[in-house]
C-alpha cells in the first residue's frame, strides 16, 4: 500500500513470478436523476408544445438528458418531425442524402411523359434476335479514324433493311376506319439521354446518304442536343427509331413505341460467346453477338414482317458490310 514493498512482493520477486496486477479504478458512474412524484421530466419548450398540440406529454418517451422529453420528442410524436435513423456507413464515407418531395417536371419531361402515355393504347408486340458483330466491329475500327460513329453505322444498316420492308416504316391512321400511312423518306431517329430528359435527333434520308456524311451529321446533331439548339425538324421528323443502351452494359430490353411510328429497335450490348464451328479444331469458336429487340404496332405490322426485317438487318450487318462502307 502507498508504494511500500511488502513481504509478498519480495516472495514474488524471488520466485520470478510477475507482480500482481493493480486493480483498475472503477469507472465513474453516470449521474442519474429521478423526478419527484408529480414532476414531469420535460423541458419547458416541450411542455408548451405538448399543450399547444393537445397531446399527453406523459405518453411520450423522452430522449433528452436524464430521459427528459424534449421539443423534438413532441414534434416526432405529432408527426411534425421524422425520427432520425441510425445509418451504417463505411469509414470516411459520408451518408448519402436522398432527395425528397415533389419537383415540377420540365417542359421536355412533360413532353416525353405525354408521348409515352399516348402510345399506351397501341397494340404492340416485340421480336428479338442476335446479330454476329465481328465483321461490323472490324468495319467500325476502319472507319472510326474518318469520324464515323457506331450510331451512324447502325442507322445506315437499319435504313437499308427498311428499304426491303417498307411496312416497318409505316404508321397506322384512324382515317376512313383505318389506313396504313407509308412514308417515302427513311428518317432514323436515335434516342439520346440528355440532362433533364430524352430527345431523338434524326438522321434524315439515312438510306440515301454516305456513311461519312451520316457520321458528320450525327456528331452535329448530338452537339445541338446537348446544347439545346436542335430545330424541330431535327428531332420530330423520324419515321423509325433506334434506342441503344449497349454502352451501359444492358444486354437486352424492350423499347416503348413512339407516337406516329410503326417500329422502334432496341440495341443491347455486344458480348463474346462460344458457338459451334465445324471448321474449328475443337468444333467451337468465339464470336461477338449483339441482342436486338424490335417493337412494332400490331395493327399494320405482323410477326412475319418483324422477323423478316430482323433477318435482313442481320444479313446486312453480318454479310453485306460493303453496303455500309459507302
With contact defined as beta carbons under 8 Å apart, do 205 and 261 qualify? no
With contact defined as beta carbons under 8 Å apart, do 187 and 315 qualify? no
298 catalytic per annotation: yes
DSSP class of 57? G
Closest alpha carbon to 149 in 194, 80, 99, 211: 211
Task: Give the Å distances, CA to CA, from 267 to 79, 213, 249.
Answer: 48, 22, 11
3-class DSSP state of 80: coil
Closest alpha carbon to 273 in 286, 282, 284, 283: 286
Q: Compute the distance between CA of residue 48 and CA of residue 53 in angstroms, rounded to an integer.
A: 9
Annotated catalytic residue within 68, 75, 288, 298: 298
Cell readout for 193 is: 439521354
Q: Compute the distance between CA of residue 320 and CA of residue 312 in angstroms, rounded to an integer.
A: 10
With contact defined as beta carbons under 8 Å apart, do 251 and 270 qualify? no
Task: Give the Å distances, CA to CA, from 113 to 99, 106, 107, 149.
Answer: 21, 10, 10, 29
The H or E element spanning position 298 is none
Backbone angles phi, psi at 263, to 5 degrees: -155, 155
3-class DSSP state of 274: strand
The H or E element spanning position 192 is strand 192-194
Q: How many CA atoms lie within 13 A of 222 on its CB side?
A: 13
Catalytically active residues are 298
Amino acid at each position: 500500500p502507498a508504494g511500500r514493498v511488502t513481504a509478498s512482493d519480495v516472495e514474488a520477486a524471488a520466485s520470478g513470478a510477475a507482480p500482481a496486477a493493480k486493480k483498475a479504478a472503477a469507472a465513474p458512474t453516470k449521474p442519474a436523476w429521478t423526478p419527484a412524484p408529480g414532476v414531469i421530466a420535460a423541458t419547458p419548450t416541450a411542455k408548451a408544445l405538448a399543450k399547444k398540440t393537445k397531446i399527453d406529454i406523459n405518453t411520450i418517451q423522452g430522449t433528452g438528458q436524464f430521459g427528459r422529453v424534449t421539443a423534438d420528442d413532441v414534434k416526432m410524436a405529432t408527426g411534425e418531425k421524422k425520427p432520425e435513423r441510425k445509418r451504417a456507413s463505411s469509414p470516411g464515407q459520408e451518408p448519402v442524402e436522398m432527395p425528397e418531395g415533389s419537383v415540377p417536371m420540365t417542359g421536355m419531361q412533360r413532353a416525353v411523359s405525354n408521348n409515352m402515355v399516348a402510345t399506351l393504347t397501341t397494340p404492340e408486340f416485340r421480336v428479338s434476335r442476335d446479330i454476329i458483330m465481328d465483321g461490323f466491329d472490324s468495319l467500325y475500327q476502319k472507319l472510326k479514324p474518318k469520324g464515323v460513329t457506331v450510331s451512324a453505322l447502325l442507322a445506315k444498316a437499319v435504313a437499308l433493311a427498311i428499304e426491303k420492308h417498307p411496312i416497318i416504316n409505316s404508321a397506322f391512321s384512324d382515317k376512313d376506319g383505318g389506313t396504313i400511312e407509308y412514308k417515302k423518306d427513311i428518317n432514323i431517329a436515335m434516342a439520346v439521354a440528355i440532362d433533364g430528359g430524352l430527345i431523338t435527333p434524326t438522321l434524315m434520308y439515312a438510306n440515301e446518304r454516305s456513311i461519312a456524311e451520316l457520321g458528320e451529321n450525327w456528331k452535329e446533331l448530338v452537339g445541338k442536343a446537348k446544347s439545346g439548339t436542335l430545330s424541330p425538324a431535327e428531332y420530330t421528323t423520324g419515321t423509325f427509331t433506334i434506342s441503344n443502351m449497349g454502352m451501359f452494359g444492358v444486354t437486352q430490353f424492350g423499347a416503348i413505341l413512339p407516337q406516329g411510328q410503326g417500329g422502334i429497335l432496341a440495341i443491347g450490348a455486344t458480348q463474346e460467346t462460344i458457338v459451334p464451328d465445324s471448321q474449328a479444331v475443337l468444333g467451337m469458336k468465339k464470336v461477338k453477338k449483339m441482342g436486338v429487340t424490335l417493337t412494332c404496332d400490331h395493327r399494320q405490322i405482323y410477326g412475319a414482317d418483324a422477323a423478316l426485317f430482323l433477318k435482313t438487318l442481320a444479313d446486312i450487318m453480318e454479310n453485306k458490310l460493303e453496303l455500309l462502307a459507302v
